[in-house]
Amino acid sequence: MPIVKDGLLYVAAGVSAGLAVFYLAGPAWASPFFLAALFTAWFFRDPRRSPPSGDDLLLSPADGRVIRVEPVNGDPEVSRGTVVSIFMSIFNVHVNRCPITGSVSDIRYHRGRFKAAFKEDAGDCNERNEVIFEKNGARVRCVQIAGLVARRIVCRLSRSEAVEAGQKYGLIKFGSRVDVYIPSIYVIAVEKGEKTRGGTTVLARMKEAVDEKEA
């Protein structure tokens, strides 16, 4: 399985340390370094994903578990919408993907603390990066939130860039969370406790499409 390029340096460091210890002290002392390199390669895995088709779909930007589905009012980008929080443990794939096809309206980075990402107030006080995706005037805000172990947020998008649903756009290293602020034109399709896969799990569907199916 391929790994993201951001992990290559960590893997190389572990292998190099293992080789050095192997020649100096023997295989028994070197094995922890090789195991650490193997785990790091697995952590930075980058599985191929095929997003489902449909202009009415809003896809999960991250692998993980839904820990919050709540209404949100007064948000500057998402009026009368819903926030879905996805917690990513160190065992999840950490590549983040675009939730919709559209463009990047804005990107905002905020310095902050490194509290455990599953704590509700982590979205307000932790280091985080906001990406505003826009499609036909509707905005979806994805917030990459650093966690207790995560100390590095990667975002490779730029303002006004055109994006496709399921497209990779960044990652958060070693445990984290992504909050997705979804406008009221969508019907939420997940519940608290569900597991998600970035770029394939449908978080929400446009109300118009849902109404047409039910009619």
Catalytic residues: 176
* Amino acid at the residue 57: L
* Amino acid at the residue 103: S
Give how far Cα 107 sits from Cα of 79, 100, 128, 129, Å: 18, 16, 11, 7
Give how far Cα 72 sits from Cα of 121, 124, 181, Å: 14, 14, 8
Tell me how far apart the alpha carbons of residues 139 and 133 are, in angstroms, rounded to a whole number. Answer: 6
SS3 128: strand
Structure tokens at 161: 């860039």
* C-alpha torsion angle, residues 109, 111, 117, 123 (rounded to 10): -60
